[in-house]
Amino acid sequence: MRIVLAGKLPGAQIVGLARDGAQAVMMFKAHQPDAVTMDLTMPNMDGIRCIEEIMAINSDVPILVISALADKATAIAALRKGARGFLNKPFTEKQLVAALKEVISDE
């Protein structure tokens, strides 16, 4: 995914890759990125909790959730917590770029 983003979003820079929710929050504080992509099924801290934590730090940051969890209730829960978009796995390169552009343009 990072390769697609780097190649298809000119000017975008990947400032951090976290392996779990707790690390994502720490990295968010350290790097203050302009946008976040996030899975929901993560060790240590799940994605819903992670969205809450990030929103508490900066409620303006656009978060695109990218998850295999395909039920509507999960997508709605993520959006209610503050995520700007929800993309189901599996996805094509085109869908990923379109979804990310959309959440960023909502700013």
Partner 1 sequence: MNKKDISEVELRVFITAVTEYFQALAGEPAQVRSAYLGADLSVPQSYDYTGLITISGNYRGCVYFSCRQVLLRRLLVCMGENDHSESNLLDAVGEVANTISGNARKHFGAALEISVPVTIHGPTESIRAAVRARPFVITIDWLGQAAIVMIDLERLV
Minimum distance between the CB of residue 89 and partner 1, rounded to whole angstroms?
A: 5
Residues 22-30: contacts with CB under 8 Å, at least 24 apart: 24/50, 24/54, 25/50, 25/53, 25/54, 25/57, 28/54, 28/57, 28/58, 28/61, 29/57
Q: CB count, 10 Å around CB of 30?
A: 10
Minimum distance between the CB of residue 28 and partner 1, rounded to whole angstroms?
A: 20
Chain contacts with partner 1 (rule: CB under 8 A): 1, 3-4, 7, 41-43, 67-71, 73-74, 88-93
Minimum distance between the CB of residue 63 and partner 1, rounded to whole angstroms?
A: 18
Tell me whether residue 31 or residue 89 sits nearer to partner 1 (CB atom).
89
Tell me whether residue 63 or residue 67 sits nearer to partner 1 (CB atom).
67
